[in-house]
């Protein structure tokens, strides 16, 4: 699934600049990407999922997974108290084991950013906020920019935006590109995660095109899902996205991060994703700067399995705080 492996290196920057020049060039570039072999990608994902991680390597992998979690609450019933509790867990995931890593970030709605920011000041834990008419993405650009500005002014260090899937599926790639580029400009130094909502994109080819579209427009992350649509993250889809960032790096020398979100609830699944990261994108992506898990309940299982590794016996949910 590599992109134009025979393309001369000196032509690659020009190709990407031309791709973003106008709607027809963008369409030609995206539709000219090599197709994804569904059987091949699903077979490879299934094969890599059978790999196991043993002993001390498993504890290191669990710690790495904890450090990659964007601890998330995105419910209409969210309250300041709930966000404060989540922030406390982010700072100190397992008080009984103070060497447990902190999570990467807490992810909340824009109106809860100030609460999370106050609780996490000086901890190094990021403040991520969904924006741009989450989860549908169906609003005007003016509203999306205002939503983004609200979150950043309140203290967000990362913005998780959603693309307009209707525009993408209608082939209106230029609209999606322009919106991502405008939101990225509004973000400034704030990192931008572009949510593709892969469960609505229908095909692996669309996932690949949407991934490249997001990277062409300046996204710092490509993210699978809002967590509100099924299916959310799946291993084959993540393989496609990891291959896309690997190919992007080969084309540009820039590393774009990846975030699966939704449906990853246990340690076994998280470790399968880490194996995929290493084997498809490369070991450089095994870092919270370049890979995240969008999750809430996943952290609980990681903490229980971590206690199992350190204590030598299984620890149940009574030993960790359960959301």
3-state secondary structure the chain: CCCCCCCCHHHHHHHHHHHCCCHHHHHHHHHCCCCCCHHHHHHHHHHHCCCCCCHHHHHHHHHHHHHCEEEECCCCCCCHHHHHHHHHHHHCCCCCCCCCCCCCEEEECHHHHHHHHHHHCCCCCEEEEEECCCCCCCCCHHHHHHHHHHHHHHCCCEEEEECCHHHHHCCCHHHHHHHHHHHHHHHCCCEEEEECCHHHCCCHHHHHHHHHHHHHCCCCEEECCCCCCCCCCCHHHHHHHHHHHHHHHHHHCCCCEEECECCCCCHHHHHHHHHHHHHHHCHHHCCCCCECEEECCHHHHHHHHHHHHHHCCCCCHHHCCCC
Q: Percent of the chain having pLDDT more than 70?
A: 92
Which one from 70, 94, 160, 301 is the annotated catalytic residue?
160
- Whether residue 322 has pLDDT greater than 70: no
Q: What pLDDT is stored for residue 5 in this prediction?
A: 38
148 and 161 in contact (C-beta within 8 Å)?
A: yes
| 314 located within any domain | no
Q: What pLDDT is stored for residue 8 in this prediction?
A: 47
Q: What is the pLDDT of residues 92-140, one digit of tens each?
A: 999 999 999 999 999 999 999 999 999 999 999 999 999 999 999 999 9
Which one from 89, 144, 193, 259 is the annotated catalytic residue?
259
| 200 located within any domain | yes
Q: What is the pLDDT of residues 58-105, one digit of tens each?
A: 999 999 999 999 999 999 999 999 999 999 999 999 999 999 999 999
| 321 located within any domain | no
276 and 242 in contact (C-beta within 8 Å)?
A: yes
* Region for residue 2 given its phi and psi (left: phi exceeds 0; alpha: psi -120 to 50; beta: otherwise): beta
Instruction: Please measure the distance between the N-terminal and C-terminal CA atoms of the chain and give it in whole angstroms.
Output: 39
Total domains, the chain = 1
Q: Does the annotation mark 160 as catalytic?
A: yes
| 315 located within any domain | no
Bridge partners of residue 69, in order along the sequence: 293
| 4 located within any domain | no
| 44 located within any domain | yes
Q: Does the annotation mark 94 as catalytic?
A: no
Question: What is d(CA 168, CA 197) in angstroms, rounded to the nearest whole number?
Answer: 11
Question: What is d(CA 285, CA 247) in angstroms, rounded to the nearest whole number?
Answer: 13
Q: Does the annotation mark 268 as catalytic?
A: no
Residue, of 65 and 2, whose pLDDT is higher = 65
Q: What pLDDT is stored for residue 7 in this prediction?
A: 42
Q: What is the pLDDT of residues 135-181, one digit of tens each?
A: 999 999 999 999 999 999 999 999 999 999 999 999 999 999 999 99
- Whether residue 316 has pLDDT greater than 80: no
Question: What global pTM score does this model have?
Answer: 0.92
Q: What pLDDT is stored for residue 317 in this prediction?
A: 57
Q: What pLDDT is stored for residue 314 in this prediction?
A: 57
Question: What is d(CA 235, CA 16) in angstroms, rounded to the nearest whole number?
Answer: 28
69-72 vs 191-195, strand pairing mode: unpaired
Supply the mean pLDDT for the chain: 91
| 137 located within any domain | yes
Which one from 223, 247, 269, 301 is the annotated catalytic residue?
223
Residue, of 191 and 3, whose pLDDT is higher = 191
Q: What is the pLDDT of residues 257-283, one digit of tens each?
A: 999 999 899 999 999 999 999 999 999
Lookup: tokens for 8: 């001369």
Q: What is the pLDDT of residues 193-234, one digit of tens each?
A: 999 999 999 999 999 999 999 999 999 999 999 999 989 999
| 68 located within any domain | yes
Domain of residue 74 covers 9-309
CATH number for 248: 3.20.20.70
């Amino acid at each position: 699934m590599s992109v134009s492996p025979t393309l001369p290196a000196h032509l690659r920057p020009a190709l990407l600049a031309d791709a973003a020049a106008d709607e027809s060039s963008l369409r030609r570039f995206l539709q000219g990407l090599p197709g994804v072999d569904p059987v091949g990608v699903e077979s490879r994902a299934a094969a890599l999922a059978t790999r196991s991680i043993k002993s001390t390597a498993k504890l290191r992998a669990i710690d790495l997974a904890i450090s990659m979690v964007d601890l998330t609450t995105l419910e209409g019933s969210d309250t300041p108290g709930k966000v404060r509790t989540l922030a406390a867990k982010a700072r100190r995931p397992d008080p009984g084991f103070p060497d447990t890593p902190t999570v990467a970030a807490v992810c909340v709605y824009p109106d809860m950013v100030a609460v999370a920011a106050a609780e996490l000041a000086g901890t190094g834990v990021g403040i991520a906020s969904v924006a741009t008419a989450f989860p549908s993405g169906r609003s005007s650009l003016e509203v999306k920019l205002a939503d983004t500005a609200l979150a950043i002014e309140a203290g967000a260090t990362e913005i998780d935006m959603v693309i307009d899937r209707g525009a993408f599926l209608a082939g209106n790639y230029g609209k999606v590109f322009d919106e991502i580029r405008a939101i990225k400009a509004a973000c400034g130094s704030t990192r931008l995660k572009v949510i593709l909502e892969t469960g609505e994109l229908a095909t692996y080819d669309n996932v690949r095109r949407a991934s490249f579209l997001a990277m062409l427009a300046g996204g710092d992350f490509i993210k699978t899902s809002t967590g509100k649509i099924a299916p959310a993250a799946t291993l084959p889809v993540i393989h496609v996205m990891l291959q896309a960032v690997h190919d992007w790096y080969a084309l540009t020398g820039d590393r774009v991060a990846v975030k699966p979100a939704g449906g990853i609830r246990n340690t076994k699944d998280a470790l399968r994703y880490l194996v995929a990261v290493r084997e498809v994108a490369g070991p450089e992506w095994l870092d919270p700067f370049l890979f995240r898990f969008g999750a809430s309940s996943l952290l609980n299982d990681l903490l229980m399995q971590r206690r199992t590794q350190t204590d030598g016996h299984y620890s149940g949910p009574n030993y960790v705080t359960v959301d």
